Structure 1
Amino acid sequence: MDQEGQYPLTQEFQKVLLSCTPSSLVREENHENGDLNGSGKASHSEEDFFDIDTQVFEKWTPFLRQSIEKGQLGLVAEELPNSIDDNFEGLEMQFLHDSQVSDKLKNSIGQVSQIQDLIENSLLQEVNELQEELTHSTNEVIMKKQLYVNNKKTSMKISEATILISKILQILELANKCQELIIEADFFKALQNLDSLEKIYLQDFKNYNFQFLKDIYASIPFLKKSIKDECINLISNSFNSNLGKNLNAVGERVFSVYVDELVPNWLQKREGMKLSNFKFNSPVEISLRDEEILRKIDLQGYFKLDEFHDSILIFETLGELDYLISETSKEYDFRKTKLIDPLSWKKSRSTPPSHKPGDLASDPFAQVLNMERLREYFLKILGFLLYDITLNKSTDFTLVNNNYSATNEFWDGLMNRMEPYLRYFVSDKLQTEEELSQFKDFLCVYVAILENYQLDIEPLLRILGSIFSKFCRITTIAFKKEFEILLNDDDFMPLTINDRHLYEKVLKICWMKEDELVKSQKDVTDENGEFVVTLPFSPLYPMTCTLMKKTYAKLTSFIGIFYRHDLHTLSNTLVSTIDSIFSKVVNEKIRAKLDTTSREEIAQILINLDYFIVAAKEFSHLMTKENIMQNPTVEIKLSSIKKYIESRKYAETKLIELIDTKVSDILETVELDWNATVTRTEPDISIIDIAQFLEMMFSSTLVNLPYSVQTLLIFREFDSLTRQFLDILLHGTPDHISQESVLNFEVDIKYLESIIPRIFPTSDEDSFNNSSEIQSPLTATSPTFNGNGRSVNSIENNIKSLEATFTELKQCIELLKQDNFTEYANPEIRPRKYPRVKPEDASILIRKVQVHSATATALEDDSRGSLGDDSTGRDLSSSSSRIAKFFNRH
């Protein structure tokens, strides 16, 4: 193994040699067999030996080169023979036994030695030459390298100088460009150039002693300050251009788009789509707006705000954003102060919203307020609000320290100062409905714009509420004036209509009772076939209904398009206004008319009041159905209904008093002869007057009164009439009366009783043929309640009840007609024949007729024992004594 490790190259080389020797050996063998000449053999052998095949030599070349490079060529030559023993130890005996091979080996050894010598000589020479060339080349390379190094240092210095000069030029160029950009107002780029200049100087020239560069670097703070100052100046100039006349133009343009396009388009769509319940600026209306129109009020096209964006970037880069905000706020506040002049700019809310503007009467600003000035002022404020909103949004609220309610704070502060003036303007300057409507329309559109930009609208809503309240007051005053004219012109007579078209119009206008509405549609032609209708109420009622509906339509129209906030308050104002018109205007004015002495007017007023109660109830239903809150659960009931009912009761009382007074006055004219000696068959003329008065009053004057009122009055008057006649009979007659006068009085009373069926007729014929008694010359007509669906049985019952009011009076007359007064004292006869005659009245009446003393004594004696058993339960013992006293009085 050691030998193999010592001679690896020799072994390998040996193997290569052996692989190539056969050809040599063959050539040598041929040589030995062919030429035995010694010299010839040597010469020929050398030529043949060195005539080695190129491919064979190429196989040797790597080993020879490797030996030369390692300097072991001689060692290889020496070790090559020894390696034969080591490598071919197994073949030795074979080679020894093979004479041919042995000869070849012997010959090859010499040849190898020759080759070794040849190689050593040639290679050594080449190596020496190569060494010389290498030394020469090395020297040249060292010289060139030294020259290269020197040139490279020079080149680097030149490059450094070039870079330095280029950076100096760059600094000069940046400085120059910065000046140009500042002049061109491109401050952000100028600041970027300054930053680049500063970085280049600090990185590359900080340690250089270039005075001009130091001067340039020293000018950087001044240039930055110039940029800041110019930015502030640009902002100030922007305020000048945007917050000048441009505000009025922007406000006017946006407002006109709303008034001239959005509102008319909505009204057209609302009518076409049946959306009357929805108002302008409601979600439905906003969703239906035309996009083309909305693009006209895109605020981005109204204001140029690039300088603000640049300034914010510049000051953020400089780290002085707070300075920009401070300077901008100062300038902005100054602009706001000029904007709201002549009002002072205050953010405090020292004045409550409910403050009354009485102290503004002498204020110069309040004195010059008019519609045009306010409109111009508010449109200027609108332009500023839109500008402020656009500025804050476009700058992401940077200039207001992220105060997202900055615009609202300004608006609230302004309205805190402005609201008292607006209240003063509404209360003192606006005096007509037209002025109120005009100002209302302006403010409503203004509110819609503010609402769309999320600004506080509460102050203006309060002003709009006060406008509506004043409009209601003015409307009430106008209604009052017109109603007074209608009331004074009213004839207080039932309304007669000869025109069918007018009649149908009245039916649509007026609120009628259901049964009367059905009746009014029948029997509308007279006996000549002409159209004629007589309605119970006077012309005042339909004209008032018309006026009332117009007034209500005017009020609802006033708030119908825009008002959509605080509907509860508006509804209360509307209801209270209508209620006030019904009660404080219509009711009070009509009630004041009740002081008249005319029964006809009072009767007609009572009828009208009955219908006004119906109107108030129906109007309550109408307002409930059409309530502006659009809430089906709301129920509206006018308090004027109660007022009308009270006035109706008062009218009934007044009518009763007048009729009582009239009957009393007529009774005062009655002069009956109580000492008459001749009986008559016809009533006294004064009794006829009373009968005619009652019949005329109930069949014509009071014919249109409600059935219950008529019945009440009839019973009231006949009861009063019989009581007064009874009082006359008891206390208004002489101490002694004749039997003839009693019979005459009976004729008078029967005549009065005979008119009852004509007041309560059971049929048309009964009006004239109900009694065999002498009739009144006045032709009676059927009263209303006989044609209003009242049953015949009900009328007959009323007649019987009314006739019962004469019972006591007739029993007293019957008692006076008796020759024997013992019937009254008889407990069996009196309850049956004189149940209504009181004992004390009987004593008075018996005392008045001429009787024999014996009869009186018998009556007195009988009364002591029998009158105490009165079946009616009366205690007649004391009455008997009083009768005796009446008998013995004279």
Structure 2
Amino acid sequence: METDAQNVVSGELQQVLLSTDLSFLKSVHMDEGQGASFSGEHEEELDLDEHTFNRWTPLLRTAIETDSLPLVVDDLFSSVEENFENLEAQILQDSQLSDNLAASVSQIASIKDIIEGSLLHETEDLQVQLAHATNDVISRKQNYLSNKKTSTKISESIILITKVLQILELSNKCQDLIKDSNFYKALQSLGALEKIYVQDFKNYNFEFLKKIYASIPILKSKIKDESINLVKSSFNSNLEKKLLTVGKTFFEFYNNLLLPDWLESKNELKLSSFKFNSPVEISLRDSEKLESLNVEKLYPLNEFYDSILIFQNLKETDYLRKEFKKEYDFRISKVVYPLEIKISGSASLSDLKKKTTTLFGDDFSLEELKEYMLRILGFVIYDRHLNRSTEYVLSQNDLSANEDFWEVFIGRFSPFLEHFVSKICTSEEMLTELKDFLGIYISILENVGANIERIYEINVLVFKKYAALLVELFNKEFSTLLDDDDFMPLTINDESLYEKVLKICWLRTDELEALHSREKTPDESFFATLPFSPLYPMTCTLVKKTYNKVVACLSEFYQYDLGELNNIIVKTVDDIFGKIVDAKIASKLDTTSREEIAQILINLDYFIVAVGEFSKILARENITHSTDVELGLQSAKLLSKTRGLTETKLIELIDSKVSDLMEFVEFEWSSTEVLKEPDYSIKDISQFLEMMFTSTLVNLPDSVKTLLIFREFDALTRRFLDVLLNSSPPSISPQSVLNFELNMNFLESIISKLFPNDESIPSTPTSPDTASIQPLDNTRSSNLIDNTIRSLHSTFSDLKQHIQFLKCPDMEEYKDSGIRMRKYPRIKPEVAQMLHNKMVPPSSAGTDSDNSASIDQSFADSITSHRRIAKFFNRA
């Protein structure tokens, strides 16, 4: 590339020379030794115009700089030879021109020397200047380096001073932050200060910085202490003043806002089977209203957040937990006072209950209890909020002191709650108020995530006590009703009251339809008689009232253990009918009044109906909403048993009366006169039975009344048969047999009076002034009565066969099995022989004697007379 540059320079110089006007050159012949003076002698002849020189100079300079000037000159010579080769002849022919050329060559060589000298001189000057400049640069560089070191030291000093100032500023800032109780930022400032010192000043011997660094542990300790004190002061400000307020705020929000809203929605949406705080109720709550219960606003925890960050930064979280636990335990002891949370584990459960009950005392009112529990509620909300918001940092590895506070508390406090419910809550109003309070209380606890099992058991205990109290109140009212009852059928002269009684009372379906179908003329005044006494409708009203109260008690706040609660309802109803109604009525069975016993029997019959109907109600309305539940009231068995005892008592009273009347019955077995009327004692017995079954026992159920009638007539016929067989003398007169038959026929005749015949069965009550229960199917009832009457007449069959045999005591006829089975199937052979012996006259009196004839005629007359009397009484 250098050769190419030389060629270019040589070529350009050749072009310049060719284009240069050389006319100024003179024919000067110089010797080789004149070269040195040529410059001075011919300066004027060699003077070039400035323009030409300016064109040569760059090319020559380039050749010099590249050390190629000799080569350029050689090229120029070669070029001259090449360019002027053809002109050689011409030049040679032109002597002037030849001289000029020769001179120019010399001049060029001279110029070359001049240029080389000039360039050498300039080069030397340049070298001098370069050496001077180099020395100057070296000097300046040394100064620069020296200055740079100084500047670096100054910069380092500035940085050092800045960091010192930063340390001082951080130290002052830390002090100010500590004064302002902004401990976490103060700790951050200390951390930055410590980092700067360790990184930048650890190897410096600055006494004041060492003192600042030495104060860091002291400041950290102060931050720790002050942050703990801040937590303690937070307890003072947040707990002592806000616990009761927060508890009341939550309770009033649930009770005065959420509960009314739910009751309204419940009625509108027909959600009667769902309870308050159930998932359905919670889903219907207004979310905007719930925002007012922002626990973060109620319990700000900024101090705790700062303290946790501080001790986590210091890696001393365990110390914070330890100090926190001390303060927390102290606050808990104040919150739960007078209760003692920490009790020796050696104490027995009974001692704990006794001690807890003693701490509060029996003078603890319901309002005091509610205020105390609301304070506890505020602390439970605070406790849950604190632990959750701090991610359980403060309670880690020590859950028993914090997260389980509620369970520990309720475990200690529940004995007093049980005592309070059992001993202090003695009124219906107190129990209702406590039940409603605990219902809302439990809802709040459940929503904040606390375990409600134990407190719910207390509320179930409240319900049990409430139900038991209702039973006690029922007992008092029923006792009053029973004492005031007149044990007479209920008479009503007000139609609206009559309809109300029918609506209140439980009756058999057929009876209810019959009573509602009663017709009356527009002119007649209303008057009705119902079989039961006033005790029954009053008791029905009282039972329904009590049941409605029990069910209403469970309407909103009880949604767990429904089976147990349903059993309590069933037991309550069972106790009402069994332990109270049945027991109280049974205590009245010591009376000797047949009227009262009869009315008790009637009332019991309806109470059994009531129990059966109530069992259906319980099965239909059971709160478990399970179709598989089978409810049976044990009181039905008790009432049935008492009813049986009452029947027995009534039978005993009737038997006793009949026995008393039987004491006055005397038969003249040796009578020779045939009577026309029955004996007065038989009339008394008949009149008693007729009055008993048509008046006193008229309202008894037909089955009971019929049973009693059967019982009495069967007993009577057996007694009279026993009198005939065992109490009669060995010999009886035929007249006495006829008289005995007359008495028995009279006694049998009252059977038809005890039951109406077919024509007497009305489709409406028998009297326009009396409402009695009549069967709807008159034909069926008539057939039943006919069958009953026939059955009652059959009770006299034995007695009649014996009387008939006495009237014709023919043993030969009796021995004929055909006749015996047709006429005397109930007479035993030995009895027939005994009766035969009673009627056979003494052997001394022959059959053909006059006396015998007169006796036979008298017997025949007696029979005729007896038939007339029988017809008379049958007509009567």
TM bucket normalised to smaller: 0.7 to 0.9
Match of 1:705 among 696, 700, 722: 700
Structure with more contact order per residue of length (Cα contacts < 8 Å, sep ≥ 6): 2
Matched residue, 1:206: 202
Residues 621-642 of structure 1, C-alpha deviations (whole Å, 9 max, x = no match): 1111111223232221111111
Distance 2:691 2:328 in 1: 88
Structure 1 residue 687: Cα displacement: 2.1
Distance 1:499 1:99 in 2: 179
Matched residue, 1:613: 608
Give the direction of change, closer, same or farther, for the CA distance of 1:617–1:37 in structure 2 (3 Å limit). Answer: closer
The residue type equivalent to 2:834 in the other structure is I
Unaligned 5+ segments in structure 1 are: 768-780, 859-890
Match of 1:644 among 630, 639, 650: 639
Residues 366-389 of structure 1, C-alpha deviations (whole Å, 9 max, x = no match): 344332332232222222222222
Match of 1:148 among 140, 144, 156: 144
Given that 1:348 and 1:413 are in contact with CA atoms closer than 8 Å, whether structure 2 keeps it comes out as no
Matched residue, 1:427: 422
Matched residue, 1:803: 793
- Give aligned pairs, total: 822
Q: State the secondary structure of the residue aligned to 2:529.
A: strand
Structure 1 residue 849: Cα displacement: 2.4
Match of 2:685 among 690, 697, 700: 690
Give the direction of change, closer, same or farther, for the CA distance of 1:783–1:733 in structure 2 (3 Å limit). Answer: farther
1:387 aligns with 2:377: no
Give the direction of change, closer, same or farther, for the CA distance of 1:289–1:783 in structure 2 (3 Å limit). Answer: closer
Matched residue, 2:830: 840
Matches within 5 A, 1:522-541: 522-525=517-520, 529-541=524-536
Distance 2:426 2:225 in 1: 54
The residue type equivalent to 2:295 in the other structure is L
Distance 1:621 1:596 in 2: 34
Matched residue, 2:189: 193
Q: State the secondary structure of the residue aligned to 2:404.
A: helix
1:277 aligns with 2:273: yes
Structure 1 residue 584: Cα displacement: 1.0
Given that 2:594 and 2:654 are in contact with CA atoms closer than 8 Å, whether structure 1 keeps it comes out as yes
The residue type equivalent to 1:587 in the other structure is D
Q: State the secondary structure of the residue aligned to 1:363.
A: helix
Give the direction of change, closer, same or farther, for the CA distance of 1:39–1:561 in structure 2 (3 Å limit). Answer: same
Matched residue, 2:508: 513
TM-score, scaled relative to structure 1? 0.84
1:67 aligns with 2:66: no
Matched residue, 2:409: 414
Matched residue, 1:770: none
Given that 2:338 and 2:359 are in contact with CA atoms closer than 8 Å, whether structure 1 keeps it comes out as no
Residues 118-149 of structure 1, C-alpha deviations (whole Å, 9 max, x = no match): 64355445444444443443343333333333
Structure 1 residue 597: Cα displacement: 1.8
Distance 1:714 1:282 in 2: 61
Given that 2:177 and 2:183 are in contact with CA atoms closer than 8 Å, whether structure 1 keeps it comes out as yes
Matched residue, 2:287: 291
Give the direction of change, closer, same or farther, for the CA distance of 1:786–1:292 in structure 2 (3 Å limit). Answer: closer
Given that 1:492 and 1:601 are in contact with CA atoms closer than 8 Å, whether structure 2 keeps it comes out as yes
Distance 1:14 1:260 in 2: 116
Unaligned 5+ segments in structure 2 are: 30-41, 763-769, 849-876
Matches within 5 A, 1:448-459: 448-459=443-454
Residues 570-627 of structure 1, C-alpha deviations (whole Å, 9 max, x = no match): 2222211211121111111112222222222222222222211111111111111111
Distance 1:257 1:740 in 2: 99
Matched residue, 2:726: 731
Distance 1:523 1:345 in 2: 71
Give the direction of change, closer, same or farther, for the CA distance of 1:358–1:449 in structure 2 (3 Å limit). Answer: closer
TM-score, scaled relative to structure 2? 0.85
Give the direction of change, closer, same or farther, for the CA distance of 1:554–1:64 in structure 2 (3 Å limit). Answer: same
Give the direction of change, closer, same or farther, for the CA distance of 1:450–1:84 in structure 2 (3 Å limit). Answer: farther
Residues 157-192 of structure 1, C-alpha deviations (whole Å, 9 max, x = no match): 333333333332222222222222221212222222
Structure 1 residue 53: Cα displacement: 9.8
Distance 1:348 1:412 in 2: 17
Distance 1:783 1:203 in 2: 113
Matched residue, 1:818: 808
Matched residue, 1:560: 555
Matched residue, 2:662: 667
Give the direction of change, closer, same or farther, for the CA distance of 1:39–1:829 in structure 2 (3 Å limit). Answer: closer
Match of 1:137 among 104, 122, 133: 133
Structure 1 residue 479: Cα displacement: 0.9
Given that 1:177 and 1:193 are in contact with CA atoms closer than 8 Å, whether structure 2 keeps it comes out as yes
Matched residue, 1:447: 442
The residue type equivalent to 2:317 in the other structure is L
Match of 1:254 among 250, 254, 259: 250
Matched residue, 1:588: 583
Match of 1:182 among 150, 171, 178: 178
- Shifted more, 606-615 versus 546-555: the winner is 606-615
Share of identical aligned residues, percent?
50
CA RMSD of aligned residues (A): 3.6
Give the direction of change, closer, same or farther, for the CA distance of 1:278–1:583 in structure 2 (3 Å limit). Answer: same
The residue type equivalent to 2:545 in the other structure is K
Given that 1:360 and 1:421 are in contact with CA atoms closer than 8 Å, whether structure 2 keeps it comes out as no
Residues 456-513 of structure 1, C-alpha deviations (whole Å, 9 max, x = no match): 2222122222222222222211111111111122122222222221122112211110
Give the direction of change, closer, same or farther, for the CA distance of 1:38–1:73 in structure 2 (3 Å limit). Answer: closer
Q: State the secondary structure of the residue aligned to 2:796.
A: helix
Given that 1:494 and 1:537 are in contact with CA atoms closer than 8 Å, whether structure 2 keeps it comes out as yes
Structure 1 residue 517: Cα displacement: 1.0
Distance 1:320 1:795 in 2: 101
Distance 1:175 1:820 in 2: 146
Give the direction of change, closer, same or farther, for the CA distance of 1:176–1:349 in structure 2 (3 Å limit). Answer: same
Q: State the secondary structure of the residue aligned to 1:174.
A: helix
1:303 aligns with 2:282: no
Distance 1:329 1:404 in 2: 11
Match of 2:12 among 16, 25, 50: 16
Match of 1:371 among 366, 373, 377: 366
Give the direction of change, closer, same or farther, for the CA distance of 1:100–1:227 in structure 2 (3 Å limit). Answer: farther
Structure 1 residue 854: Cα displacement: 9.6
Structure 1 residue 851: Cα displacement: 3.1
Distance 2:290 2:231 in 1: 29
Given that 1:703 and 1:784 are in contact with CA atoms closer than 8 Å, whether structure 2 keeps it comes out as no
Distance 1:374 1:281 in 2: 23
- Shifted more, 360-369 versus 134-143: the winner is 360-369
Matched residue, 1:746: 741
Give the direction of change, closer, same or farther, for the CA distance of 1:252–1:484 in structure 2 (3 Å limit). Answer: same
Distance 2:198 2:469 in 1: 81
Residues 621-665 of structure 1, C-alpha deviations (whole Å, 9 max, x = no match): 111111122323222111111112222222222222222222222
Structure 1 residue 282: Cα displacement: 1.6
Residues 283-332 of structure 1, C-alpha deviations (whole Å, 9 max, x = no match): 22222223344233221112232121112222222222221221121121
Given that 1:14 and 1:84 are in contact with CA atoms closer than 8 Å, whether structure 2 keeps it comes out as no
The residue type equivalent to 1:753 in the other structure is E
1:160 aligns with 2:150: no
Given that 2:493 and 2:528 are in contact with CA atoms closer than 8 Å, whether structure 1 keeps it comes out as yes
Matched residue, 1:222: 218
Structure 1 residue 259: Cα displacement: 2.6
Give the direction of change, closer, same or farther, for the CA distance of 1:283–1:111 in structure 2 (3 Å limit). Answer: farther
Given that 1:738 and 1:850 are in contact with CA atoms closer than 8 Å, whether structure 2 keeps it comes out as no
Distance 1:549 1:158 in 2: 103
Given that 2:9 and 2:62 are in contact with CA atoms closer than 8 Å, whether structure 1 keeps it comes out as no
Matches within 5 A, 1:460-479: 460-479=455-474
Matches within 5 A, 1:864-875: none
Matched residue, 1:484: 479
Given that 2:339 and 2:359 are in contact with CA atoms closer than 8 Å, whether structure 1 keeps it comes out as no
